[in-house]
């Protein structure tokens, strides 16, 4: 047992500065003893490194279960404890075993809920010579890995002498400054720093023993805990304060380092509390860092001097209820005062403590409808003096009403009519295929689906979906009598709380699309947020954002994906109830994505479903398919057992999966004219959608189809230059008005529960038009009110923004990338004007811009000016003159240090050079770079590797630069890693994503490499879509290249010069005259039928970026050229079709030849014609030009598709034949 030091203290006694008590340390009897293990990952992670006393070396096993590590103590000892310091690859389930003979083992401790970090384990003293950790279940996809395996002959490591419950100030040894909450903030996320001792509460920390050798530290200024921000194991991860939640990020081991100083080791990372860079300045950041023994990681604990503060705060006043529901009451009050300072408030429901708050508001939850409650509030200070109670406030909760929408009861989802609703539906990847929804959603409805899950973006990774777009999607779903499940995809796989919080903020911004749609819309907050298989921190994120969404007025049923990319159901089993209880409406359900891990076989499927339902939680299978990248999926078991248990399921996905994942498409086209293998299984299977789907009863409810009366007397004023205040006379309804839709220039901008609203964020001196419509609970919408137009006030702003600074220009051949430092403005910068040779070329809302349409081998001068809403323009930035590249003289890439070594080899995940040949192979490129061919289906993590001899020294470098080419049709990722002068594994940032068919330069900061000697260079390769077989080209490893380096060369390498640059497998439904079409080598072909005419066409088509939902940027090119050969016996007409933007706008031209400038291209039998399709020439036609060829190509920055179309002239008969297209390329 841990020894607790007790002190008897007289009331009011000044404790002064109490030195830490001395305590005898328990001895680690495993140090430098002989260790053995079941396996070692490689020669740098052997078992002896877990007992060598060095916290920066580790043992790591092979990637399988079970695994073990054992230590021979040399002779029998009375063993009573161990310490395990886990690396990221920790054990979920393991046993501690002891033995006298290394053959017969006794288990003295076991767990199935390991959470990593540092485990202190005590057990009854047992005489043993051998001690081992026996791992039975890994927590990650990797093996088992320990930094330290220590064995003790008494109860454990050092008794610190720290008094649990006492308040201390912590002083850094190197600076003499205190651990301090910046600004004395009481907010979650407030930064922790060092600051000169000032005696304030933000420098006083209550230290509380939480068991197993760990403590939490509570700031006396806020009542919040010292927290390692995000569960990161990286050096430099920030430390902050956060609401006490009991997670590993708030648990710290306090270890005596001698001389009255201690180090604090985070349980979540094993890293030490550290002052960044050893700074002695006030405000220097506090972070976590590998324990290195330096003075900035050593802290003196001085028990805080206290005065005899016996004065309580004044009682809170003006207690009132600001809102209430059936189950909650929100309270607010006027702040108390105190002679020292108020630290918080306790809220009482009757005589029972309902909760505490550090602000002057609080929401009491868990109440009963239509029930009277009496509330009081008491203030408290740092000395725990408690004020008298406020005046009592009596509040009666709202009466039970008909549910406004979907709700959860136990394991069942009910619709607004109280009928159980079981989802049977399909995912639709809207964000990547905008413009297809009007076809796709009705087609999905025809399958019998009652639900569609819609992929959206908040702008963090992809193009942000607007409020109007979401409202249109919901309306489409309602018109087709399907429930809409909306989700943001940008957080997929992320462990960042900031990313999840950004997504929550997006939903709050878009809440007007959700409020009033509780009957038909379910909010799946974030797709697959939290990629790590860690339930505790997954729950921490969601318990933070769910109340935030509810406080914003969002009442829709919430859906939460499990951790581990949705495939770790244990996170829901262990922590789902905690997440559910964080929802004040208790209206949250959970989603498992059943691919190869969560749904690989019937036993796994049934176990995962049963284990969640047994926790009395509602469940849906939010994604599944017939197989996935790393194995088969038992879709039949998923559907049959879901039907048996009343669990919903949503197949992934309708159409649009990228190269290598096409098997996940359910339809062969957006219109659903035919289904794929997966589509037939999920739609037409015995337990599929058609057989089991039942529509929500809300779509059958016709009891109220009467719209409210029209709002009247809408009026508007502009109280400020950026706002408009609206008021109107209320409507009436046969049942009741639920709210009012506010329309600005025809677009819905808000839903107001009252008859007034102030529109914000407007531009000064600008005219806006507004209307209002009333809506009832059944969704009936009134006619529009009278329209009112109003011009916002003049801001009278005559102050221009400051000039942009630091303009940098990187020219290619026909483009140049610009970047600059932002301007400031007294009201706000609206954008930037970009000038080329003194002429305005374009504008940008951000601090970057790509200038296109330039000529090669030409000098240009660029400058940038900022402007504000009032039209004030700043002075020009610094001018930058550059010369674009010469397309006829492309610079060869210097291979850099690749050329310094002749001993490059393929390593596997950074291990030593294999004794036997690898599947992956290296060959040299013409410039001296390296090409790796690989097959990730049969060999994981092949790496470009070299061991520099002599050891390389990188102390003179700030950044490493890689130029990489990915010739494959799918993304490839590469991670730069080195083993430094101590052979320590150092990851230089995250994986670099190299898009399909792309050459790019990547800049890798070397800030994480503290030991600048390099023993091994490792560039580890993996596929962005899994299971990829292909190649990757490494043209150079260089250092500190200029931003303009090789820009022209890279532009030329990215230019599509062959037809095979694109896949040419897009099915264009309008080409009904096709016999067949496609790509044969580098020749495109169209075999057309004799039925083609002036209205019936044939053709061949491609997407430019399949599966990504974005287009190719053709602004850097001037034209497409190709050779057209008619091998048929009749003359044919041929045109090029370019599809642009999210709406796939059709633009078409016949192109021009050297001899014929007309744009109707007729190819005679046996004729070959070289055709050029110039983008800037007025030869294109579209619906916008009324199909007349007189415009340039528009929106070339977003080319989604390319097609060659074959047709006949008016009244002409054509025999079947073949068009061949050769020499396809884009040209500068």
Name the residues annotated as catalytic: 528, 623
Of the candidates 613, 523, 536, the residue with the CA atom closest to the CA atom of residue 579: 536
- 569-581 vs 535-551: helix crossing angle, rounded to 10: 30
List, as one string, the DSSP characters of 295-313: GGG-EEEEEPP-----PPP
C-alpha distances in Å from residue 42, one per residue of 65, 659, 912 = 17, 34, 7
CA–CA separation, 194 vs 179, rounded Å? 5
CA dihedral 808, 811, 817, 821 (to 10 degrees): 0
What does the angle CA 165 – CA 166 – CA 172 come to, to the nearest 5 degrees? 125
CB atoms within 10 A of CB 917: 8
CA–CA separation, 1228 vs 1047, rounded Å? 14
Provide the sign of the torsion angle of the four alpha carbons 749, 751, 755, 757, taken in this order.
negative
Return the structure tokens found at 210: 């939480």
CB atoms within 10 A of CB 625: 26
Could you give the 3-state DSSP secondary structure of residue 96?
Answer: strand
CA–CA separation, 342 vs 348, rounded Å? 18
Burial class (CB in 10 A: 0-12, 13-18, 19+), 1090: middle
CA–CA separation, 446 vs 426, rounded Å? 12
List residues bridging with 868 in a β-sheet: 829
Return the structure tokens found at 810: 């990187």
Asked whether the beta carbons of 954 and 1009 are under 8 A apart, the reply is yes
Provide the sign of the torsion angle of the four alpha carbons 907, 908, 913, 917, taken in this order.
negative
Q: Left (φ > 0), alpha (ψ -120 to 50) or beta: where does 359 sit? A: beta
Of the candidates 676, 674, 649, the residue with the CA atom closest to the CA atom of residue 664: 676
Q: Where are the beta strands (DSSP E) in 894-1011?
A: 905-908, 921-924, 930-935, 942-946, 952-953, 959-966, 972-980, 985-987, 992-994, 998-1005
CA–CA separation, 1227 vs 867, rounded Å? 35
Report H helices in 1117-1181: none
Q: Where are the beta strands (DSSP E) in 778-920?
A: 788-791, 805-811, 816-821, 829-836, 839-844, 848-851, 859-868, 880-883, 905-908
Asked whether the beta carbons of 982 and 998 are under 8 A apart, the reply is no
The enclosing H or E element of 474 equals helix 467-479
Asked whether the beta carbons of 649 and 641 are under 8 A apart, the reply is no
Residues 6+ apart with CB under 8 A from 35: 47, 48, 50, 51, 59, 69, 70, 71, 72, 149
CA–CA separation, 846 vs 168, rounded Å? 47
Burial class (CB in 10 A: 0-12, 13-18, 19+), 966: buried
Asked whether the beta carbons of 240 and 266 are under 8 A apart, the reply is no
List, as one string, the DSSP characters of 379-423: EEETT--BPPPPPPEEEEPPPP---SS-EEETTEEE-TTS-B---
CA–CA separation, 1072 vs 620, rounded Å? 40
């Amino acid at each position: 047992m841990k020894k607790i030091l007790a002190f008897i203290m007289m009331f009011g006694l000044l404790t002064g500065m109490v030195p830490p008590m001395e305590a005898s340390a328990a001895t680690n009897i495993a140090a430098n003893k002989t260790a053995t293990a079941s396996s070692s990952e490689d020669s740098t992670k052997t078992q002896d490194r877990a007992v060598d006393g060095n916290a920066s070396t580790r043992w790591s096993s092979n990637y399988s279960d079970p695994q073990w590590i054992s230590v021979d103590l040399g002779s029998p000892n009375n063993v009573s404890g161990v310490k395990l310091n886990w690396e990221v690859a920790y054990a979920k389930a393991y046993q501690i075993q002891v033995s006298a003979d290394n053959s017969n083992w006794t288990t003295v401790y076991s767990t199935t809920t390991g959470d990593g970090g540092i485990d202190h384990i005590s057990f009854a003293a047992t005489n043993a010579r051998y001690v081992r950790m026996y791992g039975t279940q890994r927590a990650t996809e990797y093996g088992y890995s320990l930094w330290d395996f220590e064995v003790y002959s008494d109860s454990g490591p050092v008794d610190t002498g720290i008094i649990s419950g006492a308040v201390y100030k912590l002083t850094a040894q190197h600076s003499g400054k205190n651990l301090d909450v910046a600004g004395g903030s009481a907010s979650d996320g407030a930064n922790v720093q060092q600051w000169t001792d000032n005696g304030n509460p933000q420098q006083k920390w209550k230290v509380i023993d939480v068991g197993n050798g760990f403590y939490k530290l509570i700031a006396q200024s806020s009542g919040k805990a010292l927290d390692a921000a995000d569960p990161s194991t990286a050096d430099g991860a920030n430390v902050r304060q956060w609401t006490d939640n009991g997670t590993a990020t708030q648990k710290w081991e306090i270890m005596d380092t001698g001389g009255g100083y201690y180090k604090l080791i985070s349980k979540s990372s094993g890293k030490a509390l550290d002052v960044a860079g050893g700074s002695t300045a006030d405000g220097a950041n506090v972070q976590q860092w590998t324990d290195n023994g330096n003075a900035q990681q050593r802290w003196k604990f001085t028990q805080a001097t206290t005065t005899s503060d016996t004065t309580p705060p004044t009682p809170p006043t003006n207690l009132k209820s600001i809102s209430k529901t059936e189950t909650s009451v929100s309270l607010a009050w006027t702040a108390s005062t105190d002679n020292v300072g108020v630290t918080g408030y306790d809220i009482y429901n009757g005589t029972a403590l309902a909760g505490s708050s550090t602000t002057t508001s609080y929401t009491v939850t868990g109440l009963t409808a239509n029930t009277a409650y009496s509330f009081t509030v008491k203030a408290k200070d740092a000395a725990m003096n408690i004020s008298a109670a406020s005046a009592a406030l009596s509040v009666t909760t709202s009466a039970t009403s008909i549910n406004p929408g979907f709700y959860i009861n136990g394991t069942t989802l009910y619709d607004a009519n109280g009928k159980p609703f079981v989802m049977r539906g399909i995912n639709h990847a809207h964000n990547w295929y905008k413009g297809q929804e009007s076809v796709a959603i009705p087609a999905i409805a025809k399958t019998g689906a009652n639900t569609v899950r819609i992929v959206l973006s908040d702008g963090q990774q992809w193009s942000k979906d607007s409020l109007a777009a979401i409202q249109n999607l919901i309306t489409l779903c309602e018109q087709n009598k399907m429930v809409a499940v909306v989700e943001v995809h940008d957080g997929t796989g992320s462990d960042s709380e900031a990313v999840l919080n950004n997504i929550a903020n997006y939903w709050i911004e878009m809440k007007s699309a959700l409020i009033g749609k509780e009957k038909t819309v379910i909010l799946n907050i974030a797709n697959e947020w939290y990629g790590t298989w860690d339930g505790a921190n997954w729950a921490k994120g969601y318990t933070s954002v769910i109340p935030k969404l509810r406080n914003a007025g969002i009442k829709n049923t919430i859906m939460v994906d499990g951790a581990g990319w949705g495939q770790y159901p244990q996170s829901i089993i262990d922590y789902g109830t905690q997440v559910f209880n964080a929802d004040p409406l208790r209206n949250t359900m959970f989603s498992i994505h059943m691919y190869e891990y969560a749904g690989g076989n019937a036993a796994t499927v049934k176990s995962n479903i049963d284990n969640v339902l047994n926790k009395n939680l509602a469940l849906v299978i939010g994604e599944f398919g017939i197989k996935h990248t790393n194995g088969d999926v038992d879709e039949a078991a998923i559907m049959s057992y879901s039907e048996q248990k009343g669990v919903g399921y949503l197949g992934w996905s309708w159409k649009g999966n990228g190269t290598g994942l096409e098997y996940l498409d359910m339809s062969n086209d957006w219109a659903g004219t035919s289904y794929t293998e997966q589509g037939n299984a999920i739609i037409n299977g015995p337990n599929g959608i058609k057989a089991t789907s039942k529509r929500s009863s809300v779509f059958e409810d016709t009891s109220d189809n009467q719209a409210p009366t029209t709002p009247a007397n809408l009026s508007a004023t502009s109280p400020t230059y950026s706002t408009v205040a609206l008021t109107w006379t209320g409507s009436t309804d046969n049942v009741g008005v639920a709210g009012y839709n506010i329309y600005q220039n025809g677009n819905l901008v808000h839903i107001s529960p009252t008859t007034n609203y102030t529109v914000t964020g407007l531009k000064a001196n600008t005219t806006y038009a507004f209307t209002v419509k009333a809506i009832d609970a059944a969704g009936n919408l009134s006619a529009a009110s009278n329209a009112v137009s109003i011009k916002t006030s003049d801001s009278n702003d005559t102050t221009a923004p400051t000039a942009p600074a630091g303009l940098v220009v990187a020219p290619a051949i026909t483009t140049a990338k610009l970047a600059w430092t932002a301007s400031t403005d007294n009201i706000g910068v609206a954008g930037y004007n970009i000038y080329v040779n003194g002429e305005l070329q374009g504008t940008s809302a951000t601090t970057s811009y790509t200038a296109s349409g330039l000529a090669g081998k030409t000098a240009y001068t660029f400058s940038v000016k900022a402007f504000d809403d009032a039209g004030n323009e700043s002075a020009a930035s610094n001018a930058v003159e550059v010369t674009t590249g010469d397309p006829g003289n492309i610079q060869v890439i210097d291979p850099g240090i690749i050329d310094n070594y002749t001993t490059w080899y393929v390593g596997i995940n950074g291990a030593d050079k294999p004794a036997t040949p690898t599947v992956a192979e290296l060959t040299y490129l013409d410039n001296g770079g390296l090409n790796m061919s690989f097959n990730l289906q049969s060999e994981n993590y092949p790496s470009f590797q070299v061991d520099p001899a002599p050891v390389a020294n990188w102390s003179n470098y700030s950044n490493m630069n890689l130029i990489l080419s990915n010739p494959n049709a799918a993304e490839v990722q590469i991670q730069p890693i080195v083993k430094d002068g101590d052979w320590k594994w150092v990851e230089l940032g995250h994986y670099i994503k190299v898009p399909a068919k792309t050459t790019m330069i990547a800049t890798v900061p070397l800030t994480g490499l503290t030991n600048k000697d390099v023993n091994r260079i490792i560039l580890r390769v993996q596929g962005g879509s899994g299971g990829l077989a292909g190649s990757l080209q490494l043209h150079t490893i260089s250092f500190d290249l200029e931003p303009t380096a090789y820009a022209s060369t890279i532009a030329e390498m990215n230019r599509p010069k062959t037809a095979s640059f694109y896949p040419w497998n897009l099915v264009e439904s309008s080409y009904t005259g096709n016999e067949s079409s496609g790509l044969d080598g580098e020749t495109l072909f169209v075999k057309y039928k004799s039925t083609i005419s002036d209205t019936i066409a044939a053709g061949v088509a491609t997407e430019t970026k399949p599966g990504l939902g974005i287009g190719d940027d053709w602004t850097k090119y001037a034209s497409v050229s190709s050779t057209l050969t008619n091998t048929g016996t009749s003359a044919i007409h041929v045109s090029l079709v370019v599809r642009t933007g999210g709406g796939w706008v059709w633009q078409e031209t016949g192109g021009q030849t050297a001899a014929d400038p007309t744009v109707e291209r007729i190819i005679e039998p046996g004729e070959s014609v070289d055709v050029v399709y110039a983008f800037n020439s007025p030869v294109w036609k579209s619906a916008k030009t009324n199909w007349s060829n007189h415009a340039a190509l528009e929106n070339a920055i977003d080319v989604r598709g390319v097609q060659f179309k074959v047709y006949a002239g008016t009244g002409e008969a054509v025999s079947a034949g073949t068009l061949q297209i050769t020499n396809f390329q884009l040209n500068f």
